Amino acid sequence: MIAQQRFGGYSTLNIVQPLVSIILIILAWITSNVTVEIVIWAQLGSSLAAFIVGLLIVPFEYSGENRVSILPLIREGFSYSGSQIAEAASQRVDSILLLGIIGPYGTGIYSVAFTVASLPLALTQAVSGAIFKSAASNPDLSTGGLAPAALRASVVIGFASALTIGIASPLFIPFLFGPEFLPAVPIALLCLGATLALSVGGVASNLLAAFGKGWVMTAAQVGGLAINILLIFLLAPLLDETGAAIAKVVGCWVCLAVCLTGLRITPRLLVPGTKDLSYSVRLLLDGDSKGRFS
């Protein structure tokens, strides 16, 4: 979908899994049936929903001239496998671990809070799709213009999104999920510390994929996941869902730091200027068709 610049389908596919998962967990929470088994089934169900949506968006033929041998795909994708496994685990493992540490109520509050804080990912995924083709065909730009400009655009989008969510959360969360989820508001505000890291990290990860740096992606995801899990065991027993949120925020920033190191991007290059504001809007509305690197 990225290669075909089908950004709407790409964003939809990425939203389906966490959206279905949180809906199922909330239903279980409302009916007082939240257990480890229920959360696992919710994760499996959401993954199945994403699989079905993917088949509908990208239909394929089981036979014919367009078939590709599986062995070259395995060889090429092996360096990216660890990254994908760790990324998938980071979306599921924390909720499963937290059930045994802070119980169903705290896990439900945390899940709602982080889901709200991660809503801007759909926008940064659109940025990733818009620049992927140019990045893949111009790998020498990894330390030049394209990578820093795309990352600065993600900083602008991530910061604006976090600010918007921070303002809207006190009204949005109780209205959408019910007044019993009002305690999720301060946790969501805390999780906004991960919003910027997730926004920039999502674009950075896709740039690494475009430049063929799959092992760096794997190191970033595994490192972030390991720190997240470690801090969950250290902080959640003491601070409940607040500790879980801190663990997630730190894990996301660790992942981002590794990605930026792999791209050889310094923090100074991430500071947006006035031109980056208009470039960010252009990326979201028009993709890279009228961008600076067409």
Task: Show the tokens assigned to 190.
Answer: 């805390």
Confidence of residue 102 (pLDDT cuts 50, 70, 90): very high
User: In whole angstroms, what is the distance from residue 29 CA to residue 9 CA?
Assistant: 30
Compute the Cα dihedral for 194, 205, 263, 142 and give only its sign: negative
Hey, how many other C-beta atoms are within 10 angstroms of the C-beta on 38? 18
Measured CA to CA, the distance from residue 113 to residue 226 in angstroms comes to 21
pLDDT for the residue numbered 143: 45
**pLDDT at residue number 293:** 46
The confidence score (pLDDT) of residue 24 equals 84
Where residue 7 falls among pLDDT bands split at 50, 70, 90?
Answer: low
| Cα-based angle 73, 90, 231 (whole degrees, multiple of 5) | 140
Tell which residue, 195, 191, 225, 207, has the closest CA to residue 261. 207
pLDDT at 149: 85
Whether 290 shows a pLDDT value over 50: the answer reads no
In this predicted structure, the answer to whether residue 64 has a pLDDT above a threshold of 80 is no
Q: What is the pLDDT of residues 144-202, one digit of tens each?
A: 477 888 899 899 999 999 999 999 999 988 887 778 889 999 999 999 999 999 999 98
Q: Could you tell me the pLDDT band of residue 11, with boundaries at 50, 70 and 90? A: low
